[in-house]
C-alpha cells in the first residue's frame, strides 16, 4: 500500500492542484485592488498580478499587509505594490478607504473581492451585521458600489468575487438574515457565499451593455488561515494538507477571472479550476438576487439603481 501511495502521490497532487491560469496578459498602466491580500489566496493573487501591473493591497491588518507587500516588491521588482487600510467589518472604514483611493488613484481596472471570514462564533460587525454576512457580502457590496463609477470610467473593467462551492449549502433567509433566531457558523458561511453568487449575478445583469464585467469563483479547498476559528477544521486541514490546494494553486482561478483574454466579454458566470462551473439552483434565482440587492441597499443606507 505504501509503495502504491508513493507511486500515486505525484498524480494525486497534480489532480488536487487543479488548473493553472495560462494567460500571460500584461497589466501595464492598469490598477488592481485585491482585498485581504496579506495572506493566503489573496496574497498569492497579489503576488502574481504584481508581475503584470500595479496592485493595491487592501487589508485590515496593516502590519501584515506591509510585510506581504514588501515581500512581493522584493520578489517581483515591482515597487507599485501599495498598502491601504480596509476593514470590511466597518462601513466607516470602507467609506474612508474608497474616499482616499478615489482621491489618490485616477485609475481602477480590476477589483478582486477576495477577503472573507469563515466559521466565526456568533459576532457582529461595527454596524451590527452578523459577521459572515457583514464581511463576506455587505462589506464587498458597499466597496463595489463606492468604486463602480471609477471602474466604469476605466473600462474595460472587471469585478471578481471570490465565492465558494459552499454556496450549494446556502440559503438567503430573509426572515433571519442576521442569524438572531437560529445560528450555525458553518451554515452562516454557506449563506454568505451564496450571497456572493447572487450579488455577482444581479450586478452582471445591471452592467449588461457596459464594458465592465462581474464574475464569481470557487478557489478550491485551500490550505489557508481561513479555518482559524475552528480547532477541528484547523486540525483536519493539517492532517489532510496533502489533499488541499496550496494558496498559490487556490489563487489561479481568481487570476484567470482577472486577466484571461477569453473572458473580456464574459459576465455573470461562476468558475472553478479556470473553467465554468455548476451553480446551485438557489444561486440562479433571479428574484432572490433582486431582493437581496434591495435588502442590502436598505441595510447599508445606499441607493444603487
Distance CA 18, CA 34 (A): 22
E strand segments, 139-184: 157-162
Spell out the residues 6+ positions from residue 75 whose beta carbon is closer than 8 angstroms to its own.
47
pLDDT at res. 225? 58
Residue 6 included in any domain: no
Residue pointed to by grid coordinates 433571479: 286
Mean pLDDT of the chain: 92
Is residue 139 in a domain?
A: yes
**Cβ-contact 193, 136 below 8 angstroms:** yes
pLDDT in tens, 203-237: 999 999 888 999 999 998 766 555 565 556 565 54
258 found inside a domain: yes
Is the Cβ–Cβ distance between 154 and 107 less than 8 Å?
A: yes
Q: Is residue 12 included in any domain, yes or no?
A: no
The mean pLDDT value for 236-265 works out to 84
Is residue 185, in this structure, part of any structural domain at all? yes
Range with lowest mean pLDDT among 5-19, 142-156, 244-258, 266-280: 5-19
**Total domains present in the chain:** 1
Range of the domain at 218: 30-300
Helix (H) / strand (E) element for 96: namely helix 91-104
Q: Is the pLDDT of residue 1 over 50?
A: no
Q: What is the mean pLDDT of residues 46-66?
A: 97
pLDDT reported for residue 92: 98
- Strand 27-35 vs strand 110-113: parallel, antiparallel, or unpaired? parallel
Answering whether pTM is above 0.75, one says: yes
- What pLDDT does residue 62 have? 97
CA distance 91 to 86: 10
Average pLDDT, stretch 145-162? 97
Residue bearing the bigger pLDDT, 55 or 245 = 55
In a domain, 154, yes or no: yes
pLDDT reported for residue 143: 98
The per-residue pLDDT for 70 is 98
pLDDT of 123 > 80? The answer is yes
pLDDT, tens digit, 9 for 90 and up, residues 155-168: 999 999 999 999 99
Q: Are strands 270-272 and 275-276 parallel, antiparallel or unpaired?
A: antiparallel
Chain segment 63-119, per-residue pLDDT in tens: 999 999 999 999 999 999 999 999 999 999 999 999 999 999 999 999 999 999 999
For residue 120, give the CATH number of its domain: 3.40.50.720
pLDDT value at residue 239: 53
Check residue 29 and give left, alpha or beta (phi > 0: left; psi -120 to 50: alpha). left
Q: Hey, which residues are catalytic here?
A: 189
Please indicate, yes or no, if residue 279 is contained in any of the structural domains: yes
- In a domain? residue 14: no
Model confidence band, residue 258 (pLDDT cutoffs 50, 70, 90):
very high
Amino acid at each position: 500500500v505504501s509503495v502504491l501511495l508513493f507511486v500515486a502521490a505525484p498524480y494525486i497532487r497534480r489532480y488536487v492542484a487543479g488548473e493553472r491560469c495560462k494567460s500571460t496578459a500584461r497589466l501595464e498602466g492598469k490598477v488592481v485592488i485585491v482585498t485581504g491580500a496579506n495572506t493566503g489566496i489573496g496574497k498569492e493573487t497579489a503576488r502574481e498580478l504584481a508581475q503584470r501591473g500595479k496592485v493595491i493591497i487592501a487589508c485590515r491588518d496593516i502590519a501584515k499587509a506591509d510585510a506581504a507587500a514588501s515581500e512581493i516588491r522584493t520578489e517581483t521588482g515591482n515597487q507599485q505594490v501599495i498598502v491601504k487600510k480596509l476593514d470590511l467589518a466597518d462601513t466607516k472604514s470602507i467609506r474612508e478607504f474608497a474616499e482616499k483611493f478615489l482621491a489618490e488613484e485616477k485609475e481602477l481596472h480590476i477589483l478582486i473581492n477576495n477577503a472573507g471570514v469563515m466559521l466565526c462564533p456568533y459576532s457582529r460587525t461595527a454596524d451590527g451585521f452578523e459577521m459572515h454576512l457583514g464581511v463576506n457580502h455587505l462589506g464587498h457590496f458597499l466597496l463595489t458600489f463606492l468604486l463602480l463609477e471609477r471602474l466604469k470610467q476605466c473600462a474595460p473593467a472587471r469585478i471578481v468575487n471570490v465565492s465558494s462551492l459552499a454556496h450549494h449549502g446556502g440559503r438567503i433567509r430573509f426572515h433571519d438574515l442576521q442569524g438572531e433566531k437560529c445560528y450555525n457558523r458553518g451554515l452562516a458561511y454557506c449563506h454568505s457565499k451564496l450571497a456572493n453568487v447572487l450579488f455577482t449575478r444581479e450586478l452582471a445583469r445591471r452592467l449588461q451593455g457596459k464594458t465592465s464585467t462581474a464574475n464569481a469563483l470557487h478557489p478550491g479547498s485551500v490550505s489557508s488561515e481561513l479555518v482559524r476559528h475552528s480547532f477541528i477544521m484547523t486540525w483536519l486541514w493539517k492532517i489532510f494538507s496533502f489533499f488541499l490546494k496550496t494558496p498559490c494553486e487556490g489563487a489561479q482561478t481568481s487570476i484567470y477571472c482577472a486577466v484571461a483574454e477569453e473572458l473580456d466579454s464574459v459576465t455573470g458566470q461562476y468558475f472553478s479550476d479556470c473553467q465554468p462551473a455548476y451553480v446551485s439552483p438557489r444561486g440562479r434565482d433571479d428574484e432572490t438576487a433582486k431582493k437581496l440587492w434591495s435588502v442590502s441597499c436598505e441595510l447599508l443606507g445606499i441607493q444603487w439603481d
